[in-house]
């Protein structure tokens, strides 16, 4: 409750009192909406008119019925009782009752609203007040110079004149009158010690250092020589410059610890500060600019999205439980540990509703005795702790030395000008959008309004429950556990969660690898460039004039996608004040690409320089938007090429120029508001103004939402396109990245496969040209290029070539293989005949494997990704090797590197090998195989699916579960491969091609028998697993064929390319029968011809014929006589 005294009950006095009370409440974030009183002093036209002007609804109780205003009457009674108690306990005269009333209400407000108690001491306590150097009569007289500057008074409450001031009552004496003093300088419990009674005896000085025990070896530290003055400044500048030029996070951390050990940071902070209404520079930034950049990079190295404007290095600093109210409420604090203590030192942060619990829950008690729940953030080397400064937080006790780097953002209230922002960014700080000079709006400051919200029913039930039955773990199957936080409930556990102390796994992208000495490589070119090189920005700065034109082209191309926000303009302020607006940095990516139309006689056309301005989208905060954008899988390209060969179509390629820049970002339709900071290199080249920002009105490369936005916009435009002769595009149902072009009769006339902004066209040449022309009317594209003999094209990371009769297409990655091998420094003679040695082919950790290190794991992951890229695109022969490398990357990275280097040498030696795409008219054929428990563990599966005699899809990997027999492992391979074949069948339905028959060709008779539904009772569990295959076999949708290993297309999971024709057992048997029958007919024909010639046409034929007839006559006569003799 709030009380204010009024001098009389007139309209003027009552109105002034009401105004003071209203202003006081609104200043503390408590708006007034209603006034309820009896029909007394407030029921007049003046006060009622003022209440209407303020938007306050007034109501009055019934005259003569005090129960209608019972709450006020009760409050008045409580105030009188409390004031009487205070006056009696303090012994002050009753005439001071107004001070007692104000003190009582002040205590009640702090208790009810959970405010910090501002009353210095209890009412009526004796305090001392510092006298003023000047009074009404002027400065203090010289004769009173040695008198005490403090006088004694009685504390009677808070001042209503001074903010955070106090009122002291000074009783009168014979010479002076009693008075009230409003002051900020009051002290309590001062005691006069009197003169000293004993003489101080000083002991002899003790030694500065004494060894009381042996120091453990791990606690021994190397201490550098102490430097002072200019020597220290020069050392810090030199050391910081070296680390910035060749960054090493660990070395930078050691350097900071070295300075902290010599108490350097006790007097130096970096960035900006705000004291009251003043904003200025901390001394560390001006005195040590190199060190400031080093500290900024120390934070941003592991947290590139971090935003802050000040940095402090704290060593063994303990501020107790507190909140940072002077920090920006929209920003967060970053704590990077430099030295972790032996025990303790963890950070406790208060829990609030909506938090995700990641650490241990601990209860703490604040200064007012309030119980708070929070979670612990463990201090670990290299792990940055991020939390809101407005949360109550505390550092727990520790043993040892604790050194941390704290990056934070003071609330500068819009006092940061553009020049200060530029200076901060020049020193490596990332200024948040809320501290930009155009962002802060004084009249829009949010009040700390206390709002009442309805508690959800499920939380209300949890809160109101005041009893708990004893239960056991088996009584509850699905449960959630909550803890009461300050503003709601926080989930701390569930039945489906497994507690763990391990760090949560994350997926991170590998840092880009630059090609060194690109200019020298370009000067030594002997033929057109075939691969793309990524250039180090430092090399670009050394050859800036060579890259100026490329940078100018990029800036002019992105001009359609940006809205320039110049300092001090209303448009800039409007962009910054949009809800959920984000400010992101940009980056220039420099590449050298193959020339579009290289001329062998002109070396300048062999390559082109490309500068790409991208947004650092990984710095953006997650907004929950959909980022998925489907791209064309490699299987769709291979299947499309087979289909085009079957239809005798042409293959063409176009590329949409600056595709993302064609995608509009409409803020009114829910698109994100992105403000980007251009690179300072553009300012150096006089392409932008100082302090210029860009607002994105179209998608820019690097923006996380850009692929999804472009895909949606592209597909929408493609669906609306109208082609000649009434042809329309229809998106695939299985793969949405490919489209079919149908005419008015529904016949497929062309196939289109899209990879982001590359469009592969397949159809008759006239149709392909019509499609390209229609697309070019919508977007600017590259020139239409056809796949012809001697004119290869590149799509989806592969190089495509065609033979002279256009009946075979060859896919390869020769250029990529050569570039990868060159990046590892291999020579021309570094070749291998096999991809994998037998002694390295183990999926488990073996004796001799070295312990993993972060650098080794990173290198192993890099080479594994390169091998997997080639195994997935064109080189199925290294599928088994890539599967092995992926399995041992983390547990045996050094062996993985050995395997990777060997397989790269194998690929380099066979770089001329190509995947042939042909069509022999056959349907889908599955070639499965399995190796049963090669390492006494899980079996290995390899399968290949062909269509038209061409490998379309393949896989090599370990089976998900352990199998107990060879038959089971082979059956599992058949099931996995058949699922892949069904996926390809679904893709064929988009092309309106229904397979005539699906064939499974396996060398395992036992697995085929189980799949066909036969087998003993010992394999009945496997028959259940293969029941759906049995059903398809019974419907004659699938045929199973057994064949020998000499025609195997897969061996122990190592897949080889090369199409095989479908030769069924029934066809093979039929051929055998026809050959036997033909041999018999031929034999009989020859025999008949020889007999005829011998008895009719050769010399002596008549004599031989007569003898033959005589023998026949004699034999007949003998046979008749024998028959008659019976």
Is the domain of 843 the same as that of 882? yes
Residue 509 in any domain: the answer is no
Domain housing 1077: 1069-1125
So what's the pLDDT on residue 644? 94
The C-alpha angle with vertex 219 and arms to 214 and 221, in degrees rounded to 5, equals: 110
Order of strands, sheet of 798-802, starting from the edge strand that comes earlier in the sequence: 793-795, 798-802, 809-812, 915-917
Looking at 1067, 1082, 1110, which one is the last position of a domain? 1067
Nearest to 477 by CA among 495, 497, 498: 495
Residue pair 984/639 in contact by the 8 Å Cβ criterion: yes
> CATH code at 1038?
3.30.420.10
Instruction: Give the CA radius of gyration of the chain.
Output: 44
Residue 920 in any domain: the answer is yes
Mean pLDDT computed over every residue of the chain: 81
Nearest to 259 by CA among 307, 289, 227: 227
Q: Count structural domains, the chain.
A: 4
Looking at 380, 409, 443, which one is the last position of a domain? 443
Residue 803 in any domain: the answer is yes
Residue 154 in any domain: the answer is no
Measuring CA to CA, how many Å separate 44 from each of 50, 402, 461? 10, 67, 48
So what's the pLDDT on residue 916? 93
Is the domain of 990 the same as that of 1121? no
Q: Could you please report the per-residue DSSP string of 714-747?
A: HHHHHHH---GGG-EEEE-SS-TTEEEEE-TT--
Is the domain of 675 the same as that of 786? yes
Is the domain of 797 the same as that of 835? no
pTM: 0.59
In terms of Cβ atoms closer than 10 Å to its own Cβ (0-12, 13-18, 19+), residue 289 is: middle
Order of strands, sheet of 998-1002, starting from the edge strand that comes earlier in the sequence: 950-958, 940-947, 925-931, 998-1002, 1038-1042
Is the domain of 923 the same as that of 1040? yes
Q: How far, rounded to the nearest angstrom, does the alpha carbon of residue 1039 sit from its chain's CA centroid?
A: 46
Rounded Cα distance between 206 and 620, Å, is 59
Is the domain of 774 the same as that of 903? no
Tokens 């028998």 label which residue? 1009
Mapped onto helix, strand or coil, the DSSP state of residue 928 is strand
Residue 724 in any domain: the answer is yes
So what's the pLDDT on residue 447? 35
Measuring CA to CA, how many Å separate 164 from each of 41, 119, 121, 125? 31, 9, 14, 18
Looking at 423, 443, 463, which one is the last position of a domain? 443
Tokens 């100082």 label which residue? 690
Is the domain of 776 the same as that of 859? no
Rounded Cα distance between 730 and 713, Å, is 16
Tokens representing 165 are 């001031």
SS (HEC) of 953-1022: EEEEEECCCCCCCHHHHHHHHHHHHHHHHHHHHHHHHHCCCCCCCEEEEECCHHHHHHHCCCCCHHHHHH
Residue pair 774/721 in contact by the 8 Å Cβ criterion: yes
Rounded Cα distance between 365 and 7, Å, is 44
Residue 7 in any domain: the answer is no
Tokens representing 412 are 């500068």
Tokens representing 123 are 């009412």
Is the domain of 864 the same as that of 910? yes
> CATH code at 436?
2.60.120
Residue 488 in any domain: the answer is no
Residue pair 239/255 in contact by the 8 Å Cβ criterion: yes
Alpha-helical segments (H) within 93-196: 97-112
Residues contacting residue 1122 through CB under 8 Å, at least 6 positions apart? none
> What long-range pairs does 40-44 form, CB within 8 A, spacing at least 24?
40/9, 41/9, 41/10, 41/11, 41/14, 42/14, 42/18, 44/11
Residue 1105 in any domain: the answer is yes
Is the domain of 378 the same as that of 290? yes
Is the domain of 1057 the same as that of 1086? no
Nearest to 674 by CA among 561, 560, 812: 561
Q: How far, rounded to the nearest angstrom, does the alpha carbon of residue 10 sit from its chain's CA centroid?
A: 67
Question: Which portions of the chain are predicted below pLDDT 50?
Answer: 225, 443-479, 492, 495, 498-503, 1045-1065
Nearest to 947 by CA among 929, 920, 973: 920
Is the domain of 867 the same as that of 976? yes
Tokens representing 419 are 């020049």
Alpha-helical segments (H) within 307-456: 418-426
In terms of Cβ atoms closer than 10 Å to its own Cβ (0-12, 13-18, 19+), residue 221 is: exposed
Is the domain of 724 the same as that of 583? yes
């Amino acid at each position: 409750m709030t009380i204010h005294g009024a001098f009389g009950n007139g309209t003027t006095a009552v109105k002034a009192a009401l105004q003071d009370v209203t202003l006081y409440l609104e200043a503390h974030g408590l708006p007034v909406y209603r006034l309820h009183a009896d029909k007394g002093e407030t029921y007049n036209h003046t006060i009622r008119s003022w209440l209407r002007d303020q938007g306050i609804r007034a109501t009055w109780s019934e005259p003569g019925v005090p129960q209608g205003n019972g709450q006020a009457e009760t409050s008045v009674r409580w105030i009188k009782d409390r004031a009487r108690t205070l006056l009696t306990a303090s012994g002050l005269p009753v005439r001071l009752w107004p001070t007692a009333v104000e003190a009582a209400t002040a205590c009640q407000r702090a208790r009810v609203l959970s405010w910090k108690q501002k009353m210095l001491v209890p009412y009526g306590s004796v305090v001392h007040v510092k006298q003023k150097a000047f009074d009404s009569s002027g400065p203090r007289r010289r004769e009173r110079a040695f008198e005490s500057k403090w006088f004694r008074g009685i504390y009677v409450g808070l001042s209503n004149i001074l903010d955070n001031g106090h009122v002291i009552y000074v009783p009168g004496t014979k010479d002076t009158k009693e008075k009230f003093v409003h002051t900020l300088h009051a002290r309590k419990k001062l005691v006069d010690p009197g003169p000293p009674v004993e003489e101080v005896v000083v002991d002899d000085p003790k030694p500065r250092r004494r060894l009381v025990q042996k120091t453990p070896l791990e606690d021994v530290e190397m201490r550098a020589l102490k430097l002072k003055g200019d020597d220290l400044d020069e050392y810090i500048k030199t050391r910081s410059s070296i680390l910035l030029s060749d960054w090493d996070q660990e070395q930078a951390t050691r350097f900071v610890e070295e300075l902290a050990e010599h108490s350097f940071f006790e007097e130096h902070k970096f960035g900006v500060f705000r004291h009251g209404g003043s904003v200025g520079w901390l001394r560390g930034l001006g005195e040590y600019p190199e060190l400031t950049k080093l500290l900024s990079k120390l934070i941003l190295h592991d947290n590139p999205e971090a935003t802050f404007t000040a940095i402090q290095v704290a060593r063994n600093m303990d501020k107790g439980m507190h909140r940072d109210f002077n920090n920006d409420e929209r920003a967060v604090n970053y704590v990077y540990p430099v030295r972790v203590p032996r025990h303790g030192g963890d950070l406790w942060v208060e829990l609030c509703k909506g938090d995700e619990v990641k650490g241990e829950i601990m209860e703490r008690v604040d200064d007012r005795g309030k119980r708070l729940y929070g979670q612990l953030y463990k201090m670990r080397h290299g792990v940055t702790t991020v939390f809101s400064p407005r949360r109550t937080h505390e550092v727990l006790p520790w043993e040892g030395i604790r050194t941390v780097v704290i990056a934070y953002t003071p609330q500068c209230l819009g006092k940061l000008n553009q020049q200060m922002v530029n200076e901060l960014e020049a020193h490596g700080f990332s200024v948040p959008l809320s501290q930009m000079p155009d962002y802060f709006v004084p009249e829009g400051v949010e009040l700390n309004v206390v709002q009442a919200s309805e508690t959800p029913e499920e939380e209300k039930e949890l809160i109101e429950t005041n009893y708990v039955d004893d239960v056991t773990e088996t009584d509850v199957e699905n449960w959630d556990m909550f803890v009461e936080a300050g503003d709601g409930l926080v989930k701390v556990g569930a039945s489906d969660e497994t507690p763990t102390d391990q760090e949560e796994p994350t997926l991170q992208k590998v840092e880009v690898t630059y090609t060194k000495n690109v200019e020298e490589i370009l000067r030594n070119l002997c033929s057109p460039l075939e691969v793309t090189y990524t250039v180090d920005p430092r090399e670009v700065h050394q050859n800036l004039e060579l890259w100026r034109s490329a940078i100018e082209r990029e800036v002019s191309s992105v001009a359609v996608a940006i809205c320039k926000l110049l300092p001090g303009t209303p448009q800039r302020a409007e962009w910054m004040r949009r809800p959920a607006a984000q400010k992101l940095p940009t980056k220039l990516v420099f590449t050298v690409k193959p020339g579009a139309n290289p001329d062998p006689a002109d070396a300048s056309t062999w390559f082109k320089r490309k500068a790409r301005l991208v947004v650092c989208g990984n710095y953006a905060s997650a907004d929950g938007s959909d980022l998925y954008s489907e791209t064309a899988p490699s299987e769709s390209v291979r299947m499309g090429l087979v289909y085009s060969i079957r239809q005798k179509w042409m293959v063409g390629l176009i590329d949409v120029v600056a595709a993302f820049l064609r995608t509009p970002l409409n803020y009114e339709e829910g698109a994100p508001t992105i403000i980007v900071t251009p690179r300072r290199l553009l300012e150096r080249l006089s392409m932008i103004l100082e302090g210029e920002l860009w607002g994105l009105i179209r998608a820019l490369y690097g923006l996380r939402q850009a692929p999804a936005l472009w895909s949606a916009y592209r597909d929408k435009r493609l669906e609306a396109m109208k082609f000649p002769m009434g042809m329309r595009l229809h998106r695939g149902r299985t793969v949405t990245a490919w489209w079919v072009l149908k005419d008015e009769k529904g016949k497929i006339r062309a196939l289109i496969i899209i990879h982001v902004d590359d469009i592969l066209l397949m159809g008759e040449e006239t149709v392909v040209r019509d499609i390209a022309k229609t697309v070019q009317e919508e977007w600017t594209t590259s020139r239409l290029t056809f796949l012809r003999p001697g004119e290869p094209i590149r799509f989806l990371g592969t190089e495509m070539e065609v033979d002279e009769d256009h009946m075979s297409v060859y896919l390869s990655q020769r250029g990529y293989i050569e570039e990868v091998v060159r990046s590892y420094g291999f020579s021309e003679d570094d070749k291998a005949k096999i991809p994998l040695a037998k002694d390295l082919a183990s999926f488990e950790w073996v004796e001799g494997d070295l312990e993993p290190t972060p650098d080794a794991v990173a290198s192993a992951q890099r080479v594994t990704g390169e091998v997997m890229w080639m195994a997935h695109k064109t080189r199925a022969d290294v599928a088994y090797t890539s599967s092995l490398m992926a399995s041992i990357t983390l547990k045996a990275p050094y062996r993985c590197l050995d395997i990777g280097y060997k397989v790269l040498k194998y690929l380099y030696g066979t770089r001329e090998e190509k995947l042939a795409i042909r069509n022999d008219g056959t349907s889908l054929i599955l070639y499965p195989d399995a190796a049963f428990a090669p390492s006494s563990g899980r079996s290995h599966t390899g399968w290949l699916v062909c269509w038209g005699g061409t490998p379309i899809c393949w896989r090599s990997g370990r089976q998900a579960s352990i199998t107990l027999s060879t038959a089971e492992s082979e059956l599992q391979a058949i099931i996995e491969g058949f699922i892949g074949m069904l996926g390809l069948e679904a893709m064929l339905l988009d092309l309106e091609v229904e397979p005539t028959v699906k064939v499974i060709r396996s060398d395992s008779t036992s697995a085929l028998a189980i799949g066909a539904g036969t087998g003993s009772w010992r394999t009945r569990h496997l028959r259940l697993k293969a029941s759906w295959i049995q059903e398809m076999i019974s419907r004659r949708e699938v045929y199973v064929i057994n064949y020998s290993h000499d025609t195997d297309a897969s061996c122990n999971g190592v897949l080889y390319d090369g199409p095989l024709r479908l030769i069924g057992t029934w066809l093979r048997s039929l051929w055998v029968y026809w050959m036997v029958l033909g041999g018999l007919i031929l034999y009989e024909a020859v025999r008949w011809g020889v007999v005829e010639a011998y008895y009719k046409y050769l010399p002596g034929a008549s004599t031989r014929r007569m003898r033959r007839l005589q023998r026949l006559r004699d034999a007949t006569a003998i046979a008749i006589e024998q028959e008659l003799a019976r």
